[in-house]
Amino acid sequence: MKYYIIAGEASGDLHASNLMKALLQQDKHSKFRFWGGDLMSQIGGNKNLVKHYRDLAFMGFAEVIMNLPTILGNIKFCKKDILDFKPDVLILIDYPGFNMRIAEFAKKNNIQVHYYISPQIWAWKENRIKKIKRDVDQMYVILPFEKDFYEKKHNYPVHFVGHPLLDAIADRKQVNPEQFRKENNLNEKPIIALLPGSRKQEIKKMLSIMLKMVDKFNDHQFVIAGAPSQDLGFYKQFIKSENISIVENKTYDLLSLANAALVTSGTATLEAALFKVPEVVCYKGNTISYQIGKRLVKNIKYISLVNLILDKESVTELIQNDFNTKSLENELFKILDHKYRKKIFADYYELEQKLGGKGASENTAALIIKNS
């Protein structure tokens, strides 16, 4: 079959690439055309990459408005490209602002729409359920509470397939600690990993405060996880100390060795937890965008996936004005304390149980083939 896949950010590129692998295993005649990144290109071929996600990512309400002509141009181009490719199935990976528009277009043109990794309508824009019911033929959810949300609250059947991060983490090659430190010029001090996000604007906001911890914790070394969408030179402008290093495209290797992590809210909060790394979750956005978002988000107590899935505050969240030097220092000190860490590890074990086992990519691929 012919699959047209749209992923608009780094996490989507990862999950879509694993889905593509599973589709190829189960459907040897698979043909792909896609919006995504380097990982998807490794599976489907660079010639089949329509646009890279780094050219699509606009974060926050104000930023979206400023870049509206580009976004509308991308939507128009995508629609034409879909018609030219004539896919059997359109597979959408999260990225709802863009993908929901494409779903409506595809449905009107009699193209099957499968949505993998649901938009977070349980947090905000719940009225999107009407469009999902109308435009999406099959929905595959990855968080356990999403199935009840869709089926019990909105009478819309969905498939809970498990979380693809479990696959991605389990399938990775084990890192040799000594070799990793040597290759990346790291010393023997315990590592505090810094995951400041993947977009330039959020990295600038987050990293400047995160790096203020360096002089306060001299017995540790701080290592920045460089996002695949950013050049190494972009990060170097922030480095003012010998106790700061950068590793590029090796976030999982870094987390496997880290003693603690400061993490920008998003998928990375769950990744750190699955690697059993005590973390502080951080978020600081554009003031206007934050105030608008705060008023739109309803019935949600937490911003991190860890806390949302556990339905309790397992990891501390420092949001907007609370994300400051003093608060971050206090929370980092806590997660380095042995007794405090034992509680976090117990919560992480509970988290894993709730997410289920491996197989999200294979489960989803099988369901897509069966229902197409």
293, exposed or middle or buried, with CB in 10 Å at 0-12, 13-18, 19+? middle
Instruction: Give the pLDDT score at 61.
Output: 53
Q: Could you tell me which residues come within 8 angstroms of residue 244 by beta carbon, excluding any fewer than 6 positions away?
A: 211, 214, 221, 222, 223, 224
Question: Using CA atoms, how far apart are residues 12 and 84, in angstroms rounded to an integer?
Answer: 24
Going along the chain from its start, the domains and CATH numbers come out as 2-162+358-370 (3.40.50.2000), 170-355 (3.40.50.2000)
Give pLDDT < 70 ranges for the chain.
57-67, 286-299
Instruction: Give the pLDDT score at 291.
Output: 56
Instruction: Give the pLDDT score at 296.
Output: 55
pLDDT, tens digit (0-9, with 9 covering 90-100), for 11-23 = 899 999 999 999 9
Instruction: Give the pLDDT score at 266.
Output: 85
Instruction: Give the pLDDT score at 57.
Output: 59
Instruction: Give the pLDDT score at 171.
Output: 81
